[in-house]
Amino acid sequence: MDISFDLLINAIAAGLLLGGFYAAVTAGVSISFGMLDIVNIAHPGFVILGSYLAYFLNINFGIDPILVSILMLPFFYALGSLIYQVYYLSFEKRGQEALRGLAFFFGLLFVTEVSLILVFGVDYRYVEAIYIGPSIHLGIVDLPLRMLVPCIAALALFGAIQIFITHTFTGRAIMAVSQDQLALQLMAADPIRIKRIAFGLSIAVAAVAGALLIIIQPVEPSVGREYIGRIFAICVLGGLGSMPGTLIAALLLGIVESITATFYGPSWAPAVAFGLLLLTLAFRPAGLFGR
């Protein structure tokens, strides 16, 4: 009983750290899917792209992965803006986002994954940094720095996004664009420009999350697909576009997955997110805190 209690506490601690990271991965989707109503299923593709860029710069130039992620921000922001422009002109403007827009993002996800396989192969890749390896011991709880550092970085990023969205004009405009485009236009803001900024932001956040991912675990190109279920489960459970809801849902999923992995084996973990997603869709489609 004593041992299993230790295990449980450690599993919950690990789950909280994992959940903090999941919050960063999902933040981008909460913006694009939750607020802009763009079903960007290619999001994990950009996460993995961020991982591989962090890997490339870390191995060749020895740059710290978290520093890399900050350096990558403008690049991925520009990439996101460009993709939104193509998406807007080709699908949103013509009202075809339901079928062809989805197929477009699916194609992007697919092309990213196959390109990474062609360039880097299917071997697992990892980064090197001083905080990979040691752990902090707090009584019976072990906190590996490999998990703790990404979790703190993720929560800092998440907090920054939350402040940006609630405290700046552009951020509030992003929240408004999902509710009433006409009203936004009357406030002298161009909805298309606001959406472009928001989508660029969501892709930039994906890249940062990718750099954090490769600190937590070795990465190969198809890892992204496991994250599709997770991020959309969190996003829906968190109530589509609510940042505090996303954080709580992410921590919840992290804990449930960690406990499942500890007591039933890690090969079952991907099924947890999907089960949670299906249950949420069936019973609480408005999310945990939805009205």
Partner 1 sequence: MNTTKFALITIVVGAAVMAFAHWFKVDYLFFASYTILQFIVLATAWNILGGYCGYVNFGSAAFFAMGAYSSVALHKFDSLIDHWFSGSFAALLHGIFPLSVPVLILFGAIVSGIAGFGMGYLTLRLRGSFFAIATLALAVVLQTLVVNWEYVGGSRGAYIIRPESIEFVGITINYIEYLFGLMLLLAMLSLVAARAIERSQLGFGFATIRDDELAAEACGVPTLRVKLIATTISGAFMGMAGAPFPYYIGYLQPSSAFGLEYAVNSIAMPMIGGTTSWVGPLVGAILLGSAQQYATVSISSEVNLLIVGLILVGFVIIAPNGLIGLVQGWRRAWRKP
User: Tell me, what amino acid is at 164?
Assistant: F
Number of residues forming the site for partner 1 (CB under 8 A): 43
Q: Residue 133, interface with partner 1 (CB under 8 A)?
A: no
Segment lying near partner 1 (by CB under 8 A), choices 14-22, 162-170, 180-188, 262-270: 262-270
Minimum distance between the CB of residue 11 and partner 1, rounded to whole angstroms? 19
Judge contact between 22 and 253, C-beta under 8 A.
yes
Segment lying near partner 1 (by CB under 8 A), choices 6-14, 90-98, 160-168, 249-257: 90-98
Question: What DSSP line would sit under 167-199, residue for residue?
Answer: HSHHHHHHHHHHH-HHHHHHTT--HHHHHHHHH
Chain-centre distance for alpha carbon 219? 15
From CA 261, how far away is CA 238, in angstroms rounded? 22
CB atoms within 10 A of CB 247: 25
Segment lying near partner 1 (by CB under 8 A), choices 62-70, 74-82, 98-106, 182-190: 98-106
User: Tell me, what amino acid is at 30?
Assistant: S
Residue choice 9, 102, 129, 145 for contact with partner 1 (CB under 8 A): 102
For the four alpha carbons of 88, 91, 95 and 101, in that order, the dihedral sign comes to negative
Q: Residue 266, interface with partner 1 (CB under 8 A)?
A: no
Q: Binding to partner 1 (CB under 8 A): which residues in 111-130?
A: 111, 113-115, 117-118
From CA 45, how far away is CA 228, in angstroms rounded? 9
The residue ranges that bind partner 1 (CB under 8 A) are: 33, 39, 41, 86, 90-91, 94, 96, 98-100, 102-104, 106-108, 110-111, 113-115, 117-118, 225-226, 228-229, 232-233, 236, 267-268, 270-271, 273-275, 277-278, 281-282, 285
